[in-house]
Amino acid sequence: MISKKRLIPVILAAMFVTACGGGSDSTSSTSGTTTTGASNTPATTGTTATPTTPATTGSTATPTTPATGTTSTPPTTGATGTTGTPGATGTTTGTTPATTGTTATGPASDAKLAGFMEMVANQILYIRTNRVIYLPVGLNVFEGQTGIVDIASGSAVTPIAGLESFAASQGCNAQNDGVCGVQPTAAAPAAPLAGFGIRLDKNVLTSDATQQVAGQKVVGRIGFDLTELSNSPGIAAGQSPEIMRFILDNVEMATNAAGQLDTVNVQAGAKLHVYGKTASGAEIRTDLPLPQGSVKLIQLTDIPDRGSDTGSQILYMDLEKAFSQAGQSLAGLEQISGHFAMHVTFSSFSRIFRPAAAATAEFPAVAAKDLVGSDITVNSEPTVSGAGINGTAWIRMFP
């Protein structure tokens, strides 16, 4: 690729070598105010974000109203699996796959959990570029015009020497900020994001008193769609928008006797199905082994901005682990960069509900909302449909 596609990764690599901080978060308030090592200063759209200095130690934010684990009766209907529209400028090719020469085999027979999930504190989660912390931000930021920024992509090496010392030098405090220095679980330079999660109530909620949600076990899939927006600065003259779509299959989820989601793992023989399109228009398709640990639950003690909530957890996709078996098969996708429409869909969830929360001094008001996933198809795999989230993300680049 031409120099624009290589410039940003080189800059980010230099940031690690020189132990600089990552960039800042974008637009409006996030779901957690700045904590040590978690600078969330909004970036101005269309300008280059300057890496920020972490905030003073000890500023722990209180998230928006956490769920209490009781049965919820939201006012809206469940997710239907229709295509979501990211709140971003520019156009996207949507969730219909680019022409790949293959035909999807039809709808998947993915099992769905009875009941529904509830988002807590309006939070999603990823790893900050400098890997000092897991970074919780508001879903409204992801859905906004600028989208999420300061995102670590998959590391080419593991472990990263001196990362924990660097985190400490930035004032990261485990009591307030959780993990200080998020080491790669595997080397995976093709992973567009090192990881991504959503904060959910531990309880699977019921729509009525007769619904049974305890003792369930289902197997489903998780789909990701990253399609570069037409106005992305990552697209140079004569280049095509880059695309990366992938499905993690055979993801098992189970509830305990209390009806809580307490087990998430990847079954033996699971696969990562990948479709990509490079800036030159070359298409890449492959199926890779999906290692154990690629999908898991993270407890709130590992993240900042957790407040006093003990009733929620992070459903986390460890994409470095997921892409660790790629070798050279995805070398052409290791440098994708720009502003991407991003969709994440969970076939095992028929519904994820985001409750309303009033505005506070730290957070904007959010309306009650069903989080409707986009249909995602990769190569000849059945379409992934279910609840999910839709927004935009800056990959290996800052606005």
Q: Is the predicted pLDDT of residue 83 greater than 60, yes or no?
A: no
pLDDT given for residue 150 in this prediction: 98
Q: Which residue has the tokens 């485990």?
A: 174
Taking alpha carbons only, the member of 88, 143, 119 closest to residue 370 is: 119
Q: Which residue has the tokens 């219909």?
A: 96
Q: What is the Cα–Cα distance from 275 to 385, expressed in whole angstroms?
A: 17
Per-residue tokens: 173: 């405090």
Radius of gyration of the chain (CA): 20
pLDDT tens string 196-205: 999 999 999 9
Higher per-residue confidence, 105 vs 114: 114
Cβ neighbors of 119 (< 8 A, separation 6 or more) are 139, 198, 199, 200, 201, 352, 353, 354, 355, 371
Binned at pLDDT 50, 70 and 90, residue 301 comes out as very high
pLDDT given for residue 362 in this prediction: 86
Distances in Å between the Cα of 398 and the Cα atoms of 149, 152, 303 are 6, 12, 23
Binned at pLDDT 50, 70 and 90, residue 52 comes out as very low
Binned at pLDDT 50, 70 and 90, residue 18 comes out as very low
Region 314-335: mean pLDDT is 98
Taking residue 151's Cβ as centre, other Cβ atoms within 10 Å add up to 25
Per-residue tokens: 261: 């989601």
Domain boundaries, the chain: 3-395
Q: Is the predicted pLDDT of residue 284 greater than 90, yes or no?
A: yes
Binned at pLDDT 50, 70 and 90, residue 258 comes out as very high
Binned at pLDDT 50, 70 and 90, residue 109 comes out as low
Q: What is the Cα–Cα distance from 82 to 98, expressed in whole angstroms?
A: 18
Q: Is the predicted pLDDT of residue 306 greater than 90, yes or no?
A: no
What does the H/E/C string look like for 24-52? Answer: CCECCCCCCCCECCECCCCECCCCCCCCC
Q: Is the predicted pLDDT of residue 322 greater than 90, yes or no?
A: yes
Percent of the chain with pLDDT strictly greater than 70: 73
- Provide DSSP, 216-281: -EEEEEEEEEEEE-TT-TT--TTPPPPEEEEEEEEEEEEE-TTSBEEEEEE-TT-EEEEEEE-TTS
Per-residue tokens: 60: 């722990």
Q: What is the Cα–Cα distance from 231 to 216, expressed in whole angstroms?
A: 44
Helices (H), the chain: 3-17, 139-143, 163-169, 174-177, 319-322
Q: Is the predicted pLDDT of residue 252 greater than 60, yes or no?
A: yes
pLDDT tens string 171-191: 999 999 999 999 999 999 999
- DSSP tag of 212: -
Binned at pLDDT 50, 70 and 90, residue 239 comes out as very high
Higher per-residue confidence, 288 vs 70: 288
Binned at pLDDT 50, 70 and 90, residue 363 comes out as confident
Per-residue tokens: 109: 């027979």
Q: Is the predicted pLDDT of residue 371 greater than 80, yes or no?
A: yes
pLDDT given for residue 70 in this prediction: 41
Percent of the chain with pLDDT strictly greater than 90: 70
pLDDT given for residue 91 in this prediction: 43
Q: Is the predicted pLDDT of residue 192 greater than 50, yes or no?
A: yes
